[in-house]
Amino acid sequence: MHGLQQENSQQETTSDTKRRRLESLRADLAEHNRSYYEKDSPVISDAEYDLLLKELENLEILFGETSDLTTRPQGKVAKGFRKVQHKAPMLSLENALTEDELNDFFRQTEEVVGSLEDVEFFGEPKYDGLSCSITFKDGIYHQAATRGDHETGEDVTAQVATIKNIPKSLVEKAHLIGLDVKGTLEIRGEIIMLKEDFERLNLEAKSTGAKLFVNPRNAAAGAVRNLNPDVTASRPLSFFAYSVVTEHGVGEALALETHRDSIYLLQALGFTLSKEAKLVKGRSGVIAHFESISQKRDGLPFDIDGVVYKINRLDLRKELGFRSKTPRWAIARKFPAQERTTVVQRIEFQVGRTGAITPVAQIEPVFVGGVTVSSVTLHNFDEVERLGVTAGDRVSVRRAGDVIPQIVCVTEKAATAVATLRPTHCPVCQSPVESTGAIIRCSGTYSCRAQVTGLLSHAASRKALNIEGLGETIVQKLVEQGLVRTQADFYELKEHHLRRVDGFADLSISNLLDAIEKTVGQTTLAKFIYALGIQNLGETGSKDVAKFFGSFQAFTNATQADLMSIEGVGETVSQSILDFFSDSGRLANAYRFHDYCKPIHQATSAGGWLSGKTIVITGTLSRPRETFEQLAEQAGAKVSGSVSKKTDYLLCGENAGSKMEKAKSLSVAIIDEAEFLRLTSN
268-283 confidence digits (pLDDT tens): 999 999 999 999 999 9
> Any idea where the domains of the chain sit in the sequence?
2-71, 84-334, 339-442, 468-597, 614-681
Residue 55, judged by CB atoms within 10 A of its CB (0-12, 13-18, 19+), counts as middle
Residue 165 CA: distances (Å) to CA of 161, 261, 269 = 10, 22, 12
Q: Tell me which DSSP letter residue 358 carries.
A: E
Residue type, 572: T
Q: Which helix (H) or strand (E) holds 344?
A: strand 339-351
Task: State the 10-residue block means of pLDDT for the chain, 682 residues long.
Answer: 49 73 82 68 69 82 76 58 90 90 95 94 95 96 92 92 95 94 95 93 85 84 90 94 90 90 96 94 95 88 94 95 89 85 93 92 86 88 90 87 79 85 93 88 92 96 92 93 95 92 85 94 94 92 89 92 88 94 94 95 61 86 82 81 87 82 87 85 66
Q: Classify domain 339-442 at the CATH superfamily level.
A: Nucleic acid-binding proteins (2.40.50.140)
Q: Letter for the amino acid at 677? A: L
Furthest C-alpha separation in the chain:
94
The burial of 4, by beta-carbon neighbours within 10 Å (0-12 exposed, 13-18 middle, 19 or more buried), is given as exposed
Cα distance between residue 390 and residue 403, in whole Å: 23
Is there a contact between 390 and 417 (Cβ–Cβ < 8 Å)?
Answer: yes
Q: Dump the DSSP string for 201-223.
A: HHHHHHHHTPPPPS-HHHHHHHH
CA distance 17 to 32: 22
Handedness of CA 81, 239, 196, 618 (dihedral sign): positive
CA distance 600 to 579: 24
pLDDT value of position 155: 93
Angle at 179 (CA atoms; ends 177, 183), nearest 5 degrees: 155
Q: Which CATH architecture has domain 84-334?
A: 2-Layer Sandwich (3.30)
- The answer to whether the beta carbons of residues 430 and 423 sit under 8 Å apart is no
pLDDT for 602 equals 59
Q: How far is CA 284 from the centre of its chain?
A: 27
Looking at residue 39, its pLDDT comes to 60
Active-site amino acid positions: 126
Architecture of domain 468-597: Orthogonal Bundle (1.10)
Q: How far apart are CA 51 and CA 37, in angstroms?
A: 18
d(CA 192, CA 52): 25
What local confidence, expressed as pLDDT, does residue 4 receive?
47
In sign, the C-alpha dihedral spanning 651, 657, 661, 662 is negative
CATH superfamily of 2-71: Helix hairpin bin (1.10.287.610)
Which pLDDT score is estimated for 74?
A: 55
| Number of neighbours of residue 163 by Cβ within 10 angstroms | 21
The span from the CA of 599 to the CA of 532, in Å, is 12
Task: Give kind and range of the element (H or E) at residue 192.
Answer: strand 184-192
Angle at CA of residue 231, ends 225 and 236, nearest 5° = 95
pLDDT at 654: 83
CATH of domain 614-681: 3.40.50.10190
**Edge-to-edge strand list for the sheet holding 669-671:** 638-640, 614-618, 649-652, 669-671
Angle at 673 between CA 672 and CA 679, to 5 degrees: 95
Please, is 465 exposed, middle or buried when counting C-beta atoms within 10 Å of its C-beta (0-12, 13-18, 19+)?
buried
CA dist 489 → 288, 483, 501 (Å): 53, 7, 15
Dihedral of alpha carbons 577, 583, 587, 593, sign: negative
Amino acid at 457: S
253-287: b (≥16 Cβ within 10 Å) or e: ebebebbbbbbebbeebebeebebbbebbbbebbb
Q: 9: how many CB neighbours lie within 10 A of its CB?
A: 10
H-state helical runs in 34-156: 46-63, 68-71, 99-113
- pLDDT, position 416: 84
The strand pair at 394-398 and 406-412 is best described as antiparallel
